[in-house]
Amino acid sequence: MIAVRRILIREEYCMGCKLCEINCVAAQVETGNLIKVYRYVPELPEPNVIVEEHDYVTFALQCRNCDDPSCLKACMTGAMHRDPKTGAIRVNQEKCVGCWMCVMACPFGVIRRNTKEKKVASKCDLCADRGTPGCVEGCPNEALVLVEVRE
């Protein structure tokens, strides 16, 4: 049994401010400080969380870390793998050849291309190396909540 991190999406409280996206970007950069990140980091990474909007329905979506992940099956090199410790789906950039089959296979559309390196770029790793994920920490209305599921 391992404790697996999951991010719970509560669309009923999402106001569409997109601060999760902003904080996700900052969480991927070393300094972390929002002002420093946005002023001085030359090439900012893509956010791994995307706010979907339609009229008043808004919610932040990041990798669901599916139990039966299509991206993992679609990956021909084995770059896409499940982290045995956290249970999160992660991508090994060394192995990735940039075929982008995972991008096509993902039913949620949360894997993005990295056009600079021609590899898979955006893939939420649940901020495995960080305490609370940036998006959860940055949400002003608790529309994203970190939960631990025992598996």
Partner 1 sequence: MAKRKVPPEFVVERDDYKCIRCLACVRVCSYGANFYDENANRVYTENTKCVGCHFCEAICPTEAITVRKNDFDIRPLAHWTPEHLIGIMKQAETGGVLLTSMGNDRPYFSYFDRIVLNASQVTNPSIDPLREPMEIRTYIGRKEEKLEIEEDEDGTVKLKTEIAPQLKLEVPVMFTAMSYGSISLNAILSLARAARTVGTFFNTGEGGLPKELREFKDNMIVQVASGRFGVSADYLNAGSAVEIKIGQGAKPGIGGHLPGEKVTEPISETRMIPVGTDALSPAPHHDIYSIEDLRQLIYAIKEATRYEKPVGVKIAAVHNVAPIAAGAVRAGADYIVIDGIRGGTGAAPKITRDHVGIPIEFAVAVVDQRLREEGIRHMASIVVAGGIRNSADVIKAIALGADAVYIGTAALISLGCHLCQTCYLGKCNWGIATQDPKLTKRLNPEIGARRAANLLRAWAHEIKEILGGMGINAIESLRGNREVLRGVGLHEYELKLLGIKPAGEAW
> In this structure, what DSSP letter does residue 131 have?
S
Considering only residues 74 to 93 of the shown chain, the ones binding partner 1 according to CB under 8 A are none
Residue 22 found at the interface with partner 1 (CB under 8 A): yes
On whether the CB atoms of residues 111 and 102 are closer than 8 A, the answer is yes
> In this structure, what DSSP letter does residue 110 have?
-
Residue 39 found at the interface with partner 1 (CB under 8 A): yes
Binding range to partner 1, per CB under 8 A, among 29-37, 67-75, 81-89, 92-100: 29-37
Give whichever of 20 and 127 is closer to partner 1, judged by the CB atom: 20
Q: Among the residues of 106-148, which ranges form H helices?
A: 134-138
What is the token pair recorded at 55? 């009229």
On whether the CB atoms of residues 143 and 68 are closer than 8 A, the answer is no
Residue 50, strand partner residues? 61
* Length of the chain measured in residues: 151
Give the per-residue contact string, 130-149, with partner 1 (x = CB under 8 A; - = no): --------x-xxxx------
Binding range to partner 1, per CB under 8 A, among 18-26, 81-89, 107-115, 123-131: 18-26
Residue 43 found at the interface with partner 1 (CB under 8 A): no
Residue 123 found at the interface with partner 1 (CB under 8 A): no
> In this structure, what DSSP letter does residue 146 have?
E
- In the complex, the residues that contact partner 1 under the rule CB under 8 A are 12-19, 22-23, 34-35, 37-39, 55-56, 138, 140-143
